[in-house]
Copies of this chain bind each other. A is one copy, B any other.
Amino acid sequence: MEDLKNVYISPLPDSPYVKPFRFNYTQNGKEKTWDLLEVHDSVAIVVFNVSRKVMIFVKQFRPAIYYNCIHPDDRELNVIDTNKYPASLGIALEMCAGIIDKNKSVEHIAQEEVLEECGYDVPLEKLQKITSYRSGVGVQGSLQTFFYCEVTDDMKTQQGGGVDDEIIDVVEKTIPEMEEMVNSPGPIPSPPSCLFALMWFLHYKADKYRK
């Protein structure tokens, strides 16, 4: 995962992933604009293994995090120096998640992601829909649906790790390790959706599994 080379920045071509545009509007009589991005809705799944009382995380290299660790002066270089900026700077710890880019129900997409990323084959009825919220309020306001799913060791039918070019490691954390993670002074290499999921689990579910 941490073998990183030939890193450079180039202009955005016409991209299926990032579609920026300007939103124009008049609010309370004032003309305004806001620059936006069109992104897909998504699912996030909190996967807790009740056989061994561990939370299942996915770990992967995230260019967006790596880029933000590079000093602005060094971003302009032809090639980023990966000795000065090793890949480890961009490794994120997240909940299992995926975008909704297929004509399937959110439940089916969540089920697929748990299998592909984490290797657990879960029946649909084990996926408990908790709520949904906006992924962001600034440049992207897509909807993320949040599921909770308890799994057992015997549901683990494959290794996980993603499909196609994805390079994903499955990581397990005990309840004390989760508490240590959210109580760290940071920077925590995780997005707020992962921290919300962790706090939600610690507050509403963890007590049952502490002993």
Q: Does A24 contact B (CB under 8 A)?
A: yes
* Complexed CA–CA distance, A36 and B142 (Å): 16
* With A187-B143, A199-B200, A203-B202 as contacts: A25 and B192 at CB distance below 8 Å: no
Give CA–CA (A139, B11) in the complex, Å.
15
Interface string of A26-44 (1 = CB under 8 A from B): 1111111011111101000
Which residues of A63-92 have CB atoms within 8 Å of chain B's CB atoms? 63-68, 87, 90, 92
Determine whether the beta carbon of A136 is less than 8 Å from that of B136. Answer: yes
B62→A137 contact, CB < 8 A: yes
Contact of A13 with B by CB under 8 A: yes
Task: Say whether B186 contacts A200, CB under 8 Å.
Answer: no
- Residues of B contacting A146 in the complex (Cβ-Cβ under 8 angstroms): 186
Let me know if A174 is at the binding interface, CB within 8 A. no
Complex Cα gap A182–B6 (Å):
44
**Does residue A123 face the partner (Cβ distance < 8 Å to B)?**
no
The docked-state distance in angstroms from the alpha carbon of A26 to that of B8 is 10
Q: A136-B191, A185-B131, A195-B133 are in contact. Are A141 and B65 (CB under 8 A)?
A: yes
Given known pairs A65-B137, A137-B92, the reply for A6 and B22 (CB within 8 Å) is no
* Interchain residue pairs with CB less than 8 A apart (8): A3-B29, A18-B20, A20-B37, A64-B137, A65-B134, A133-B191, A135-B192, A195-B196
> Which residues of A line the B interface, CB within 8 A?
1, 3-13, 15, 17-18, 20-32, 34-39, 41, 61-68, 87, 90, 92, 94, 129, 131-146, 165, 167, 182-193, 195-196, 199-200, 202-203
